[in-house]
Structure 1
Amino acid sequence: MTGAIFVAGHRGMVGGAIYRALEARGVPILTRTREELDLRDQRAVEAFLATERPEAVIVAAAKVGGILANTTYPAEFLYENLMIEANLIHGSHLAGIQRLLFLGSSCIYPRDADQPMAEAALLTGRLEATNEPYAIAKIAGIKLCESYNRQYGHDYRSVMPTNLYGQGDNFHPENSHVLPALIRRFHEAVETGAETVMIWGTGTPKREFLHVDDMAAASLFVMDLDRATYDANTDPMLSHINVGTGEDISIADLARLVADVTGFEGDIEFDTSKPDGTPRKLMDVSRLSSMGWRASIALRDGVESTYEWFLKAGTLREA
């Protein structure tokens, strides 16, 4: 890629990691803050893309959050994500932009999908109720990309990451995902001298975690694939690619890992009155692995570096 790339959502965790990876390559990058360009505004997005005409668009912008945020604001999660992706994908088409990468989520797969979850599991069963609106929006994004490819011959690709974490994560006490929420909770417990930390649910669900820098590397790897290789490893009706580590960990074991990293030595208890969410979410990453990409950051190493960033950034005080 030699022309400018528009990274939508460059101030978010994933978009920021992609921005850093592109910057390291010396690639020209286009960005706009939410104040400069509201991605929910169709006319504004179309005008921006028509004027700037980047070589490619990366759709890393999204409204995201954990179980509590998803269940509290389902309308916003569905509406805002639909608008963002529809405006960027359709606007790219109108502007004659042939290349686009859409970032989705592992929550697109059915709650009871066979584990590990292969790309073919899409639309084969009911979604997890706690994040159904978000998942539906992301499924729509995949199908938008596939539809514009089939009808207009574009090269719009989709990658589905597992649970992400790392620099730039959201450590809000109520609206964050499980790993940053645990980091904050155990850090606060150490600072206050608490003897017990309470964790939502039973601790038995298993989750897979991918460092955001690995996600950025995988995203650019998929974008760099020549069209023939990408098409040979996907299908016009099933074109998305899973991105993950291929390994998972129980929430209870994750809590113990975070406790160890943060130096918490007290007791860990589980509030079984709170929802667990999907029992297990492990990605089948064999498609991406067969094309030559694998994650390189081990979970403990990633948690340690994320905690170091959290402390340096003063995220706790600013959240």
Structure 2
Amino acid sequence: MMEKQDKIYVAGHKGLVGSAIYRKLLAEGYTNLVVRTSKELDLRNQASVDEFFASEKPAYVFFAAGTVGGIMANKTYPGNFIFDNVIMIFNALEAARKNQVTKFLYLGSSCIYPKDAPQPIKEDYLLTDKLEETNKPYALAKIAGVELCLSYNKQYGTNNICLMPTNMFGINDNYDSQNSHLVAALIRKFYEAKVNKAPHVMLWGTGTPRREVLSADQLADACLFFMQNYSGNDIINIGSGEDITIKDLAQKIKEISGYEGELQFDATKPDGTMKKQLDVSRASGLGWTSNDTLDEDLEKAYHDFSDNYIQYTTKQ
């Protein structure tokens, strides 16, 4: 069991998921936390990573670092997405092995699964069909990280575990107007429509596709649970266990924002995949399920964005 005084390294503590893990650990009384910004520690630099692990000697690692982005970023910088994400986990995991880290938690992504995987998506569907082309370099990097974690367990007897989260949102999300994901994009659209008194908000497609979303705080709860309660070579999906239509999700955020204009859909634009949901039965069988707090989590994220609008929109 991870004790309150154990030294814990949270990689990627400034990002959406890493900052949620960091907050969760502090809230639960873990105070011996080690963090570094990307400027302080470039995880792509093997010598720097080796020096960090040798000097700090963390007992536990939550690895939420990475180069991330939306479709446009993946399309424009595919080399960066595969190189950065492969070399960061490879450097960190090898340094952790050499310095006898007690346990290492690696966060993958639901994009590792085939584009046309049956729904809901089981962990066993990994590598059974073709990936989505738009983020294939990122997905392959995440798959390589999973394989390295599990291969090290088999060869060296390390204690690495891998969680695959669904679509995330929350505090410290990316609200870039061209590069944000679903919930963040909706939050920004409704906030700016309200401020600018726009008569309507137009969304692509029919609004009927279904998506599963989960707050980063819920994922952080799962990370702590599995760090404390699981060891093994099975990857584990982390999600809400529920999905929602884009129209209903947009309506929830519209109501939270107080925007009084119309919500419209451009049915001439593509809907994309009609359903994307993870099968979370493995996680629930091991003892973790998400709390049904979607409305509360959406409200928290919306008000965090509105209170910090300038900060979020000048990050672009």
Q: 1:200: Cα distance to partner?
A: 3.4
Q: Which residue of 1 aligns with 2:55?
A: 51
1:19 alignment partner, SS class: helix
Query: 1:20 aligns to what?
Result: 23
Structure 2 distance, partners of 1:79, 1:224, is 31
**Residues 1:298 and 1:17: Cα distance change in structure 2 (over 3 Å):** same
Contact 1:207 1:250 in 2 (8 A): yes
Structure 1: where are the runs of 5+ without partners? none
Distance apart, 1:297 and its partner CA: 4.2
Secondary structure class of the residue paired with 2:184: helix
Question: What is the CA RMSD across the aligned residues, in angstroms?
Answer: 1.7
Query: Where does residue 289 of structure 2 map in the other structure?
Result: 294
Does 2:118 align with 1:122? Answer: no
Q: Please say if residues 288 and 294 of structure 1, whose CA atoms lie closer than 8 Å, have aligned partners that are also in contact.
A: yes
Counterpart code for 2:214: L
Partners of 1:123 and 1:277 in 2: how far apart? 22
Further displaced range: 64-73 or 15-24: 64-73
**Matched residue, 1:195:** 199
Distance (whole Å) between structure 2 residues aligned to residue 29 and residue 303 of structure 1: 28
> Is the aligned partner of 1:265 residue 2:260?
yes
Indicate whether 1:66 and 2:62 are aligned. no
Match of 1:304 among 295, 299, 302: 299
Determine the C-alpha separation between the residues in 1 that align with 2:286 and 2:165.
16
Taking structure 2 as the reference length, the TM-score comes to 0.93
1:282 correspondence with 2:282:
no
- Equivalent position of 1:6 in the other structure: 9
C-alpha distance in 2 between matches for 1:37 and 1:170: 22
On the 8 A contact 2:174/2:312 being kept in 1, the answer is no
Say which is worse superposed, 113-122 or 203-212, in terms of deviation: 203-212
Structure 2 residue 129 is matched with structure 1 residue 134: no
Q: What do residues 88-122 of structure 1 show as CA deviations (whole Å, max 9, x unaligned)?
A: 11111122223100001111111111111111011
Q: TM-score, normalised by structure 1?
A: 0.92
**Same amino acid, percent of matched pairs:** 48
CA distance in 1 between partners of 2:268 and 2:49 (Å): 44
Q: Deviations over 1:46-92 (max 9, x none)?
A: 11111211001111011122223222322221111111111111111
2:314 corresponding residue in structure 1:
318
Q: CA deviation at 1:274?
A: 5.4
Where 1:268 maps in the other structure, the secondary structure is strand
Question: Would you say the 8 A contact 2:191–2:306 is kept in 1?
Answer: no
Q: Which position in structure 2 is the counterpart of 1:215? A: 219
Could you tell me whether the CA contact under 8 Å between 1:202 and 1:271 is conserved in 2?
yes
CA distance in 2, matches of 1:281, 1:86: 29
Structure 1 residue corresponding to 2:35, chosen from 31, 35, 42: 31
Residue of structure 1 in register with 2:157 after alignment:
153
